[in-house]
Structure 1
Amino acid sequence: MQTIICEQPDVFKMTETDMPSVRPGEALVRIKRIGICGTDLHAFKGNQPFFSYPRILGHELSGVVESINGECAHLKAGDAVAFIPYMECGQCIACRHGKTNCCTDMKVLGVHMDGGMREYISVPFSHLIQVEGISLDHAAMIEPLSIGAHAIRRASIRKGETVLVIGAGPIGLGVMALAKQEGAKVIAMDVNEERLAFCREWAGVDVTVNALEGPRDRLSELTGGEFPTAVFDATGNARSMTDAFHYAAHGGKLVYVGLVKADITFNDPEFHKRELTLLGSRNATREDFEHVIRFLEQGNVDLDAYITHRAPFYGMIDRFESWLDPQSKVIKALVEL
Structure 2
Amino acid sequence: MKAVQIAAPQQMAVVEIEKPELHEGEILVKIEYVGFCGSDLNTYLGRNPMVKMPVIPGHEVGAVIEAVGAGVPDSFKKGMSVTLNPYTNCGKCASCRNGRVNACEHNETLGVQRKGVMCEYAVLPWNKVIPAEGISARDCALIEPMSVGFHAVSRGQVVDNELVMVIGCGMVGMGAIVRAALRGATVIAVDLDDEKLALARRMGATYVINSQTENVHERVQEYSGGMGADVVIEAVGSPATYVMAVDEVGFTGRVVCIGYAKSGVEFQTKYFVQKELDIRGSRNALPADFRAVIHYMKAGNCPTEELISRIVAPEGAAEAMAEWAAHPGKVFRILVKF
Q: Secondary structure at the match of 2:274?
A: helix
The answer to whether the 8 Å contact 2:34/2:61 transfers is yes
Say if 2:92 is the partner of 1:91. Answer: yes
CA distance in structure 2 between the aligned counterparts of 1:51 and 1:273, rounded to whole angstroms: 39
Q: Which runs of 4+ in 1 moved over 4 A?
A: none
The answer to whether the 8 Å contact 2:193/2:329 transfers is no
Structure 2 residue aligned with 1:44: 44
Q: Deviation per CA, 1:227-277, whole angstroms, max 9, x where unpaired?
A: 000000101212211232101000100000112233334222221000010
The answer to whether the 8 Å contact 1:167/1:235 transfers is yes
The answer to whether the 8 Å contact 1:49/1:261 transfers is no
Q: Secondary structure at the match of 1:67?
A: strand
CA distance in structure 1 between the aligned counterparts of 2:329 and 2:244, rounded to whole angstroms: 28
The letter for the 2-side match of 1:52 is K
Structure 2 residue aligned with 1:23: 23
Displacement of 1:328 in angstroms is: 8.2
Q: Secondary structure at the match of 1:251?
A: strand
The answer to whether the 8 Å contact 1:35/1:60 transfers is yes
Displacement of 1:174 in angstroms is: 1.3
Structure 1 residue aligned with 2:34: 34
The answer to whether the 8 Å contact 1:232/1:255 transfers is yes
- TM-score w.r.t. the length of structure 1 is 0.95
Displacement of 1:168 in angstroms is: 1.2
Percent identical residues: 34
Moved more, 264-273 or 121-130: 264-273
CA distance in structure 2 between the aligned counterparts of 1:224 and 1:318, rounded to whole angstroms: 47
CA distance in structure 2 between the aligned counterparts of 1:271 and 1:62, rounded to whole angstroms: 41
CA distance in structure 2 between the aligned counterparts of 1:51 and 1:78, rounded to whole angstroms: 33
Q: Deviation per CA, 1:115-161, whole angstroms, max 9, x where unpaired?
A: 11111111111100111111111111110111011101111110121
The letter for the 2-side match of 1:165 is V
The answer to whether the 8 Å contact 2:164/2:230 transfers is yes
CA distance in structure 2 between the aligned counterparts of 1:136 and 1:276, rounded to whole angstroms: 41
The letter for the 1-side match of 2:102 is N
CA distance in structure 1 between the aligned counterparts of 2:329 and 2:291, rounded to whole angstroms: 32
CA distance in structure 1 between the aligned counterparts of 2:328 and 2:50, rounded to whole angstroms: 29
Structure 1 residue aligned with 2:236: 235
Structure 1 residue aligned with 2:65: 65
The letter for the 2-side match of 1:10 is Q
Count of residue correspondences: 336
Displacement of 1:327 in angstroms is: 7.9
Structure 2 residue aligned with 1:12: 12
Distance 1:15 1:295, change over 3 A: same
Q: Deviation per CA, 1:275-302, whole angstroms, max 9, x where unpaired?
A: 0100000000111111111111122221
Correspondence list, 1:118-197, <5 A? 118-197=119-198
Displacement of 1:324 in angstroms is: 2.3
Moved more, 259-268 or 100-109: 259-268
Correspondence list, 1:312-327, <5 A? 312-326=313-327
Moved more, 310-319 or 40-49: 310-319
- TM-score w.r.t. the length of structure 2 is 0.95
Moved more, 20-29 or 170-179: 20-29
The answer to whether the 8 Å contact 2:239/2:266 transfers is no
Q: What are the ranges of 5 or more consecutive residues in structure 2 without an aligned counterpart?
A: none
The letter for the 2-side match of 1:249 is G
The answer to whether the 8 Å contact 1:62/1:82 transfers is yes
The answer to whether the 8 Å contact 1:231/1:255 transfers is yes
CA distance in structure 2 between the aligned counterparts of 1:90 and 1:226, rounded to whole angstroms: 42
CA distance in structure 2 between the aligned counterparts of 1:330 and 1:190, rounded to whole angstroms: 13
The letter for the 2-side match of 1:70 is A
Structure 2 residue aligned with 1:198: 199
The letter for the 2-side match of 1:236 is G
The letter for the 2-side match of 1:227 is G
The letter for the 2-side match of 1:292 is V
CA distance in structure 2 between the aligned counterparts of 1:311 and 1:107, rounded to whole angstroms: 27
Q: Secondary structure at the match of 2:102?
A: helix
Q: What are the ranges of 5 or more consecutive residues in structure 1 without an aligned counterpart?
A: none
Q: Deviation per CA, 1:3-62, whole angstroms, max 9, x where unpaired?
A: 111011101121111112333322111110101111111111011242221110000012
Q: Secondary structure at the match of 2:251?
A: coil
